[in-house]
C-alpha cells in the first residue's frame, strides 16, 4: 500500500497540481493588491468619491446589499481571467514555433518506411 501511495503522490500530475495550487494562492494576494491598491484608486476613484466612499468593499445599496464586495470580486475575476488568457496565448505561440521548427520527413524516406512495413507483414 505504501508503494502505491508513493507512486501516486510522486506522479508528475499530482506534483504539478500541488505547485499550481500554491502558486495560485500566492497569485491571489497579488491580484487582490492590484485591484484594491492600484485599479480601484485609479479607475474608480471618481465614482467612489461621488458615493462618499473610501473603499469599494464598503459600497452598499439599500443599506444591506453589499454591491461593492461583488464588484470587487468581479474585477478580480476579470483580471485573473485576462492574465491567464495572456499566459495561455504566450504558451500557444511558443508551441506553434516548436511545431514549425520540427523537421519535415522527406517523401522518399516515408515511402521507404511504408515499403519496409509492407515487407514485414
Nearest to 82, CA basis, from 27, 44, 37, 121: 27
Please state, in angstroms and rounded to a whole number, the distance separating the CA atoms of residues 58 and 64: 10
Please state, for a pLDDT cut of 70, what percent of the chain lies above it. 89
- Write out the three cell numbers for 118: 509492407
Decide if pLDDT at 20 tops 90.
no
Nearest to 47, CA basis, from 20, 22, 67: 67
Query: Residue 90's pLDDT band (boundaries 50, 70, 90)?
Result: confident
Please state, in angstroms and rounded to a whole number, the distance separating the CA atoms of residues 91 and 89: 5
**Mean pLDDT taken over the chain:** 79
Decide if pLDDT at 120 tops 80.
yes
Q: What number is the average pLDDT over the span 5-10?
A: 74
CATH number of this structure's domain 2-120: 1.10.1200
Tens-place pLDDT, residues 22-80: 888 888 888 778 777 887 677 777 777 777 777 767 777 777 777 778 887 887 788 77
Amino acid at each position: 500500500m505504501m508503494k502505491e501511495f508513493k507512486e501516486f503522490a510522486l506522479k508528475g500530475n499530482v506534483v504539478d497540481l500541488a505547485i499550481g495550487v500554491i502558486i495560485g494562492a500566492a497569485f491571489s494576494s497579488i491580484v487582490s493588491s492590484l485591484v484594491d491598491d492600484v485599479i480601484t484608486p485609479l479607475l474608480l476613484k471618481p465614482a467612489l468619491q461621488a458615493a462618499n466612499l473610501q473603499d469599494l468593499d464598503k459600497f452598499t445599496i439599500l443599506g444591506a446589499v453589499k454591491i461593492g464586495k461583488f464588484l470587487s470580486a468581479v474585477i478580480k475575476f476579470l483580471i485573473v481571467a485576462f492574465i491567464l488568457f495572456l499566459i495561455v496565448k504566450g504558451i500557444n505561440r511558443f508551441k506553434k514555433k516548436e511545431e514549425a521548427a520540427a523537421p519535415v520527413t522527406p517523401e522518399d524516406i516515408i515511402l521507404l518506411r511504408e515499403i519496409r512495413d509492407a515487407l514485414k507483414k
